[in-house]
Amino acid sequence: MSETSQTGTVDQLKIGAAVETQPSIQARALTKVFGDRTVVDRLNISVNRGELYALLGENGAGKTTTINMLTTLLSPTSGDFSICGHNGIKEPESVKGCFGVVSQDVCIYQELTAFENLSFVADLYGIPKARARNDIERLLIEAGLADRANDLAGELSMGMQRKLSIATALLPGPKVLFMDEPTVGLDPNSRRQIWATLRDLRSQGVTILLTTHYLEEAELLADRIGIIRQGSLVLEGTIDELRSRIESIRNIAITLNRSIENSGLEAKIAKLKQRFPTQYHYDPVRHTLYIAQPRDITLVKCLEAVVSWLDEEKIPFSKCATSEPSLEEIYLSVAMGQEEVDLKVATEGSDTIEMEAS
């Protein structure tokens, strides 16, 4: 994978795979200004063949505007981009032949059947009739719509309509797929079916640029994640690389046998801080103490210090658990402009270690 660059505050992350010479999607200093407002600000993104890249950011961060420029719906104010090696400014028609789009809105003809929607798209692209019929039948089967092929699209559920919308985008056989919040409003089962489709497409070498507000979705699917804030890319990398860039975000959760007064706890925590610098949060309802693990101290050493401290301070506990930071914690830390994630966000341990106090 490639290493991207960005002026200003962007953190650079190296990706551990070989660099490909021809990214499927490449934006270079891409900028869009509406009046006196800069919506996308000198954005650099590089996505390689067969990679699923998730672009995250709050509403108004510039995600949809970025996709609209990369799909030639909007002309950039400055900068340029390429899709499959074709320059998006100089060769827009060549670019259009490389990608498919699944937008936030369901873009199908409600008064046509599922089969007719796909057939209409095949005619637009000049796909031969015999090949079109085979491809349409295959896509309907893959979308779970084979038994609804002759039903009007407007009579299908929202989940089925979104699957049909994806099928229409896939019919021409695009090398690149842009997906702008494709699973918004869907039930969990429909979302998972679309996730399976995305995994299959990626394994077939299709490059996917995905925007989503479902952070679980990005964490499960994406090879790399970019976080955009006020039109600028502020952090990029794999989920593990993003985790490594956030200070004091991995936690050790200690379930106490009894509640403890804040005044007494502060004095005890002060002694723990003599061993290593840390933050803490105490949940009196759950009788649980959350201690942040510093990035420069290994988990084993941190656990040893914490357990030793618990013993010396005679703090009775029943369970000790560790948790890796979730994408939600990383996102809150970066996209919302916080220096660090509040430890109150992390209240669940993913790897539980049972220990008895001596």
Inter-residue contact 291 to 257 (CB < 8 Å): no
For residue 61, report the phi and psi dihedrals to the nearest 5 degrees: -75, -20
What parts of the chain have a pLDDT lower than 70? 1-21, 245-249, 262-263, 324-326, 329, 333-358
Q: What is the pLDDT of residue 3?
A: 41
Inter-residue contact 64 to 231 (CB < 8 Å): no
The per-residue pLDDT for range 147-200, each reduced to its tens digit, is 999 999 999 998 899 999 999 999 999 999 999 998 888 888 888 988 998 999
Sheet containing strand 37-47, strands side by side: 37-47, 25-34, 78-83, 86-87
Q: What is the pLDDT of residue 209?
A: 97
Q: Could you give all domains of the chain from N- to C-terminal order, each with its CATH number?
A: 25-244 (3.40.50.300), 247-353 (3.30.70.100)
Q: What is the pLDDT of residue 337?
A: 56
Q: Can you list the alpha helix ranges (DSSP code H) found in the chain?
A: 63-70, 92-96, 114-124, 129-142, 158-170, 188-203, 215-221, 239-245, 262-273, 299-312, 327-334
For residue 107, the surrounding DSSP H or E stretch is none
Eight-class DSSP state of 340: S
Contacts 24+ apart (CB under 8 A), 302-307: 302/252, 302/276, 303/252, 303/353, 305/272, 305/275, 305/276, 306/252, 306/254, 306/272, 307/355
For residue 229, report the phi and psi dihedrals to the nearest 5 degrees: -135, 125
Q: What is the pLDDT of residue 21?
A: 60
Give the residues across from 296 on adjacent strands. none
Token pair for 200: 């299959």
DSSP letter string, 60-84: TSSHHHHHHHHTTSS--SEEEEEET
